Chains A and B, each alone.
Chain A
Amino acid sequence: MYEGPVQDLIDELGRLPGVGPKSAQRIAFHLLAAEPADISRLQEVLQKVKEGVVFCQVCGNVSEEQTCRICRDARRDPTVVCVVEEPKDVVAVEKTREFKGRYHVLGGALDPLSGIGPDQLRIRELLGRIGSDDIKEIILATDPNTEGEATATYLVRMLRDFPGLTVTRLASGLPMGGDLEFADELTLGRALSGRRTV
């Protein structure tokens, strides 16, 4: 335990996701030693992030304006929409440079244990887009865990028989670099159901 403001800083940092007590301490002492200019810059962006960032009215991604950069970009294919849980998933898919369509951010996954059902996610907004825009394919890219799978199941059932709409699911299977015998049943099951002809 440290005195006063230092401990306060460590406590605040420790509340952030992914920061354990040791990391919090390391970051706090790094900040203590930093140049005043660096600290002011950090202060400014922290302030801005709450005031300046809004959510894109179309896709729900974090944005600086009412519509995000990807939704405004005419070169992106508006007929293909990739559905993800969180804005960070948009970043992950963008990094692959494989995807040229648009996104839809649900804002989470269907998780009844946390009180999250279809009404708590941006599913109605997705339906609105499908009804009004010319969307031909929906790619479901929810997380490969229990809640993500259940969310994909729900959306597949809902969108399956929409005329003129193709629904696809990210292939998910065995992590590269592992041995088959160590794969768990859930992962192996997904890999089997998503198998393809070679």
Chain B
Amino acid sequence: MSLYRDACVVLRVQKLGEADRIITLLSQRHGKIRGVAKGVRRTSSRFGARLEPFGHVDVQLYTGRTLDVITQVDTLDAFGVGLVEDYPRYTAACAVLETADRLTAEEGEPVLRLYLLVVGALRALADRQRDASLVLDAFLLRAMGFAGWAPAVTECARCGEPGPHQSFSVQAGGSVCPRCRPAGCSSPSRETLVLLDALTHGDWAEVDRTQQASRREASGLVAALLQWHLERQLRSLPLVERRTSAGAVDRLAAQVREVLAERQS
């Protein structure tokens, strides 16, 4: 039995038995860890709400036979506090966690770069300074870079011919020149390609200059690229509340609000 300690982000929590939980952690030095938090569901637990999703925590564990056991937790950043108070940010942050979980199949394999990307994205979402949808897309692009799936946006994905090129192919991995162009390409606007490049490199001054239409188009391309590479669809991505979305529930809410307003007058 050996004791170790690491900085981690809580990716996922699952119930185990009567009062325990299995906590999936993305750690700074030990990759993905699945640890047991005993008694965490009791209100008297010393872990409190520290092991809830989005928590950035300093964790002490000892290696168990199948799962490691969490013995101590200190909060580094309580990102969850700001996130649960803003639904679009909460849904975007869920997509960050699910993506990180899916990109780290191997437990115990160090993934420092992904860990830093996740902490950075959660911090940006919790700070509420930048648009949640843009922060998510920047994270997804960089996470794809981590996985070796970075889309080509400034050159041809196949031959490397410098662009910008008019055609874009999700299957080919991004922009394609007229010679390499496969069937079924889309033609995103020039500004959308600029935005994808700026998001990848964190050039926020450039990002802020872009129009809503380009942002919508970029979000669509990022989602399509990610889904193309992942075996199974992400569950959270379609549920992210983007800037333009008004679902069936929102439309019904607007109708009920009108009915009540009429009744009042």
Binds A, one of B116-124, B200-208, B220-228, B243-251: B243-251
Q: Which residues of A contact B75 (CB under 8 A)?
A: 184-185
Task: Report 23 cross-chain contacts, Cβ distance below 8 Å, ordered by A residue.
Answer: A19-B18, A110-B87, A113-B53, A114-B235, A116-B239, A118-B247, A124-B252, A127-B256, A146-B80, A146-B84, A149-B84, A150-B87, A153-B85, A153-B87, A161-B257, A163-B257, A163-B264, A164-B264, A165-B260, A184-B48, A186-B48, A186-B52, A186-B81
CA distance A111 to B78 in the complex (A): 19
Interface size class of B (residues with CB under 8 A): 35 or more
Chain A CB within 10 A, most for which of B54, B75, B236, B255? B236
The 9 closest A-B pairs by CB, nearest first: A184-B48, A112-B236, A186-B49, A185-B78, A115-B235, A149-B84, A112-B94, A131-B256, A117-B239
Q: Which residues of A contact B259 (CB under 8 A)?
A: 131
Additional 5 contacts, C-beta under 8 A, given A117-B247, A128-B252, A158-B249: A112-B235, A153-B90, A164-B263, A183-B48, A185-B50
Which residue in A113, A130, A158, A182 is a CB contact (below 8 Å) of B12? A113
CA distance A80 to B249 in the complex (A): 22
A189 touching B81 by the CB < 8 A rule?
Answer: yes
Chain A's interface: helix, strand, loop or mixed, by majority? helix
Q: How many residues of A contact B (CB 8 A)?
A: 45
Interface residues of A in 169-198 (CB under 8 A from B): 175, 177-178, 182-187, 189
CA distance A116 to B249 in the complex (A): 14
Q: Does A17 contact B (CB under 8 A)?
A: yes
CA distance A113 to B238 in the complex (A): 11
Which residue in B12, B81, B248, B260 is a CB contact (below 8 Å) of A131? B260
A-B contact count, CB below 8 Å? 123
Q: Does B91 contact A (CB under 8 A)?
A: yes
Nearest-neighbour CB distance to chain B for A172, whole angstroms, equals 11
With A127-B249, A149-B84, A163-B260 as given contacts, are A18 and B17 in contact (CB-CB < 8 Å)?
A: yes
CA distance A46 to B3 in the complex (A): 46
B52 touching A20 by the CB < 8 A rule?
Answer: no
Nearest-neighbour CB distance to chain A for B259, whole angstroms, equals 5
B84 touching A150 by the CB < 8 A rule?
Answer: yes
Q: Does A57 contact B (CB under 8 A)?
A: no
